[in-house]
Chain A
Amino acid sequence: MDTLVAQLQRQFRDYTISLYHQGFLDDQFTELKKLQDECSPDFVAEVVSLFFEDCEKLIGNMARALDQTGNVDFSLVGSSVHQLKGSSSSVGAKRVKGLCVTFKECCDSQNFEGCVRCLQQVDIEYKSLKAKLQDLFNLEQQIVQAGGRIPQVDI
């Protein structure tokens, strides 16, 4: 019969794999995990937290810019999209990064409806990723509190 630790570790492994297979995360997230060590055990959580702060700020900027009906500064929107694409690339947020590519194209072609749609999708996607990563970090905490080690997951 599985111990609690073994069950949690299996859950953690399965959940991590699903996040990659469903396209939420890519190799860059793996690279961040490799940088985490005993000296900085919360490194990934800190980086990810900064990323989500970035998302909120940039999405706010884009929303305000798109709200200027008839006078939208698409280059301003595009600049925020570019920054978000960079941040999402740095943490391995694959779906958010992918949406930014489409979003940037809409900005470049000054497609207002396209931009609004992309903004909505980016907002949904980053919130979804935030919830999923929180679940992942909670699982890590549960494993550690149960006296176990967080397993390395090969993707």
Chain B
Amino acid sequence: MATKSMGDIEKIKKKLNVLIVDDDPLNLIIHEKIIKAIGGISQTANNGEEAVIIHRDGGSSFDLILMDKEMPERDGVSTTKKLREMEVKSMIVGVTSLADNEEERRAFMEAGLNHCLAKPLTKDKIIPLINQLMDA
């Protein structure tokens, strides 16, 4: 990683490693493209249970996890709690719908998120978080 925060994301020296957890194939494609556009590499999981298995089996380490809230098998809240129990240290960013109310967002944050963003995701929403990661 670069050693100071910067606006020009192209100066990242190490590839940002991102796990995208979402049951919507459309969102997976768009979010993968966003991560690629900002110089990162990504892996996807179609639901929370897959995300847990990836961490359990592969010993994977991600810089950033983009976590959808509503998913079958295991939702974003449950997945985030489980990953934190597994001592996953990645930055976990919840991705919520505008329909989610304040209480739902708070519950999601309290599960162990670092941040919450509303859909649709864009490069401009993600870049400040990447800068924060680089500063850490």
Q: Which of B24, B30, B119 has the most CB of A within 10 A?
A: B30
In the complex, chain A residues 23-59 whose Cβ is within 8 Å of any chain B Cβ: 28, 31-32, 34-35, 37, 40, 43, 46-47, 50-51, 54
- Is A83 part of the contact surface with B, judged by Cβ < 8 Å? yes
Q: Are A89 and B29 in contact (CB under 8 A)?
A: no
| A35, A47, A90: the one within 8 Å of B119 (CB) | A90
Given contacts A32-B30, A35-B34, A40-B33, contact A50 B119 (CB under 8 A): no
Q: Are A28 and B120 in contact (CB under 8 A)?
A: yes
- Is B97 part of the contact surface with A, judged by Cβ < 8 Å? yes
- Is B123 part of the contact surface with A, judged by Cβ < 8 Å? yes
Q: Is the interface of A mostly helix, strand, loop or mixed?
A: helix
A32 CA / B64 CA spacing, docked (Å): 22
- Is A87 part of the contact surface with B, judged by Cβ < 8 Å? yes
Q: Are B29 and A50 in contact (CB under 8 A)?
A: yes
Q: Which 9 A/B pairs are nearest by Cβ-Cβ distance?
A: A35-B33, A90-B120, A31-B122, A50-B26, A28-B120, A89-B120, A87-B26, A35-B37, A90-B26
